[in-house]
Amino acid sequence: MKNKIIISNPNDMHVHFRDNEMLKLVVPETDKIYENCIVMPNTVPPITNREMAKDYKLRINKYIKNNLNPLMTLYLNENTDENDMIRAFKDKIIFAVKLYPQGATTNSDKGVKNLKNIFPLLRKMEINKIPLLIHGEDTDEKIDIFDREKSFIDKYLTKIVNKFPKLKVTLEHITTSEAVQYVKETTNLGASITPHHLASNRNDMLVSGIRPHLYCLPILKRRKHQEELIKVATSGNEKFFLGTDSAPHEIKHKENICGCAGVFNTINSIEIITQIFDEANSLSQLENFVSKNSASFYKIPFSKKKLELIRIDKPISFQDELIEGDLKIKIYKPNFEVNWKVSRRF
Ligand SMILES: [Zn+2]
């Protein structure tokens, strides 16, 4: 039995920092653990051009003490200026572009209404090798919330990958066995997986009472889907990598008559994933999932810095909330014990 594991510093390929006071609270938590992170652009207002991405990065950088490298994104919409987008990418101000179908999740009301309208932009992205990140849910209100990911793949994603075969596409925060299968068999398509979709399923959210802090989008699915995600994450398959989708909301906006979607899971994210890999007898694949697969997929250097985790006898006690002034966020906690702890970074 392994009691210690050393991996290269992990990458979080999908994180929401929000803006203003929230940055002070959440950026340092990602900075404590991660080397690179892809920062989502669905702030209010969304980050829709080069100038905004540049300013947002400066606001984030104020709270970085270690080596975190925030990789910025643009919020794609029908009005995106292609020259501004290409310039932002060539100047390394942005790393990728994010597609939200209109209304799919928090602050996505400015998202894309009709996919066809952005085809010329996708063509430019393909030519200029700009990665496309997708929130893959069909927002047609007739589609059941548990079927939205599958419907998006069938109706839209197939069109995008067939029309733009050289475009590098990431299907973000996948939640279903159908997504796993589709990503496996499709060239130039990768997928991020969150800690909470590996650790929880819809029963955790809905049995014996409704737990608003587990409500996220895409919504937690059945156990059989959770098991498929664990299987592929622990398999070492290079197309699948960690993106926490850590998405803080103030507690008052989660414990609400119409609570917001999003789980704040940065704290203990690596420990939780290590526990899952340990239970799947796959600790040897941990580094691939949290550090190396994403670096290979996006062609960024492997971290030379290391993170050490040790097995502990007494399970870690999860801190309940993160508080700064009037701001309070609930910290994600799985329904199992975690016997791994980050012991040092070096
Ligand atoms: Zn997200």
pTM of the model: 0.97
- Kindly tell me the burial class for residue 338, based on how many C-beta atoms sit within 10 Å of its own C-beta (0-12, 13-18, 19 or more): buried
Sequence length of the chain is 346
How far is Cα 61 from Cα 43, in angstroms, rounded to an integer?
A: 16
Distance 311 CA to ligand 1 centre (A): 30
**Residue 122: in which H helix or E strand, if any?**
helix 119-128
| Per-residue pLDDT at 96 | 98
End-to-end CA distance of the chain: 24
What pLDDT digit, counting tens, does each position of 133-186 carry?
999 999 899 999 999 999 999 999 999 999 999 999 999 999 999 999 999 999
Tokens for 31, please give them: 């900075």
Tens-place pLDDT, residues 272-311: 999 999 999 999 999 999 999 999 999 999 999 999 999 9
**pLDDT tens across 203-262, in order?**
999 999 999 999 999 999 999 999 999 999 999 999 999 999 999 999 999 999 999 999
Q: Which of 12, 31, 245, 278 is catalytic?
A: 245
CB 329 within 8 A of CB 264: yes
> Residues 179, 150: contact at Cβ < 8 Å?
yes
**Ligand 1 center–CA 261 separation, angstroms:** 10
Any catalytic annotation for residue 138?
A: no
For domain 15-265, give the fold: TIM Barrel (3.20.20)
Residue showing tokens 């430019």: 124
Domain residue ranges of the chain, discontinuous segments joined by +: 15-265
